[in-house]
């Protein structure tokens, strides 16, 4: 693609590029351009072949090289009798609430949004087309990129955890576009990026050999997960209380149990419960690794439900935390 100021991106298919390692530094050779020093985001797998290279300039002024690679299908086989199964209900108050009784709060990006709005106001006061205007445009673009990167980092860590620690993951088959068209609370729904989270979760489950199933979301909140009786609940009612069997639980926890039940039925596998006396999440290490969370998310949680701050999920890979914490929630 070309603009009045020159090329913004260019793509090499099959030929015209070569990765080189010169004195311990990775360089990308491009036809008619030459050697370009690069810093790899992650190591390229040994059994892969680079098939395409796209070099693009972001609105922030940064240049990126996107490598399209072809790898062998080395995903482990999916278990016929999965032992560790989980149903996940997504929301706004709690980003995820699963059938094991854990909830992860939504990521708070209010400070980042305030910084973005502040820079946008500065941009509006600049003379359009001037040097200061173009400079401020880059600042605004960096604020947008900061928001995007923090959100995607949170989604990568969370989806990777579920794909790695479970044999079967069941979620709601949500139509994100249709949800965005609803008249109220659209900003929070857009910020939640449920569609992106579910896509990440799906491909990571495929890569890890984990069953992934998206079930019909209708009635998951209304139905009792113990007896199946449907009870209408307005949105502000956060507790499920069955009038027939007396089962009581958090509204989202009940929905997660229904999602799990539908997922196991739809996949048609035999669910072998673990015989261990320890809770399944303890064996995965999450409760131990995240027990130092200082500020649990403030949600209406039933007794026995464990909450995790989304900010701590994002910070889990930061220096100063234990290796066990980083491995529990890293991608």
Helices (H) and strands (E) in the chain, counts: 10, 16
- Residue 252: which of 270, 229, 225 has the closest Cα? 225
Structural tokens at position 217: 């979301």
- Give the torsion through C-alpha atoms of 181, 185, 187, 189, to 10 deg: -70
- The dihedral of CA 183, 185, 191, 192: what is its sign? negative
DSSP tag of 79: P
189 and 231 Cβ atoms separated by less than 8 Å: no
Residue 190 CA to residue 179 CA, distance in Å, equals: 9
CB 170 within 8 A of CB 209: no
Q: Of the residues 98, 165, 202, 252, which is catalytic?
A: 252
Given a contact cutoff of 8 angstroms between Cβ atoms, the answer to whether 329 and 289 are in contact is yes
What is the rounded (10 degree) CA torsion for 274, 278, 280, 282? -150
Helix axes 131-165, 110-124, angle to 10 degrees: 160
Active site residue 108: no
Quick one: tokens of 205?
């489950």
Candidates 137, 168, 149; CA nearest to 60 is: 137
Tell me whether residue 172 is one of the annotated catalytic residues.
yes
| Closest among 195, 152, 149 to 173, alpha carbons compared | 195
Active-site residue identified among 165, 172, 202, 250: 172
Concerning whether 292 is annotated as a catalytic residue, the answer is no
Q: How many CB atoms lie within 10 A of CB 131?
A: 9
Taking a C-beta distance cutoff of 8 angstroms, is the pair 65, 53 a contact? yes
Backbone angles phi, psi at 103, to 5 degrees: -125, 145
Q: Which of these is catalytic: 89, 112, 167, 250?
A: 89
What amino acid positions are annotated as catalytic residues? 89, 172, 252
């Amino acid at each position: 693609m070309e603009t009045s100021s020159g090329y913004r991106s260019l793509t090499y298919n099959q030929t015209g590029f070569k990765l080189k390692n010169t004195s311990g530094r990775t360089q990308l050779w491009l036809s008619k351009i030459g050697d370009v020093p690069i810093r790899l985001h992650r190591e390229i797998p040994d059994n892969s072949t680079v098939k395409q290279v796209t070099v693009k300039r972001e609105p922030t002024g940064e240049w990126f090289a996107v490598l399209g690679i072809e790898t062998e299908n080395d995903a482990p086989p999916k278990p016929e009798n999965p032992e560790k199964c989980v149903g996940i209900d997504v929301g706004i108050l709690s980003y995820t609430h699963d059938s094991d009784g854990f909830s992860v709060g939504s990521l708070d990006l209010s400070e980042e949004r305030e910084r973005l709005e502040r820079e946008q106001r500065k941009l509006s006061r600049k003379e359009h087309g001037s040097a200061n205007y173009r400079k401020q445009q880059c600042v605004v673009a960096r604020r947008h990129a900061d928001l995007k990167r923090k959100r995607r980092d949170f989604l990568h860590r969370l989806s990777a955890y579920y794909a790695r620690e479970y044999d079967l993951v069941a979620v709601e088959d949500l139509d994100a576009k249709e949800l965005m068209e609803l008249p109220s609370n659209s900003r929070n729904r857009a910020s939640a990026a449920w569609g992106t989270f579910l896509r990440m979760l799906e491909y990571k489950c495929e890569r890890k050999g984990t069953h992934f199933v998206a079930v019909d979301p209708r009635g998951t909140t209304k139905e009792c997960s113990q007896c199946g009786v449907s009870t209408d609940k307005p949105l502000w009612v956060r507790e499920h209380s069955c009038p027939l069997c007396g089962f009581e639980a958090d509204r989202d926890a009940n929905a997660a149990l229904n999602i799990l039940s539908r997922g196991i039925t739809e996949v048609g596998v035999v669910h072998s419960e673990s015989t261990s006396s320890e809770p399944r999440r303890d064996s995965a290490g999450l409760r131990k690794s995240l027990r130092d969370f200082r500020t649990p998310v403030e949600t209406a949680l039933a007794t026995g439900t464990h909450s995790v701050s989304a900010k701590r999920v994002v910070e889990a890979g930061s220096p100063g935390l234990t290796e066990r914490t980083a491995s529990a929630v890293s991608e």
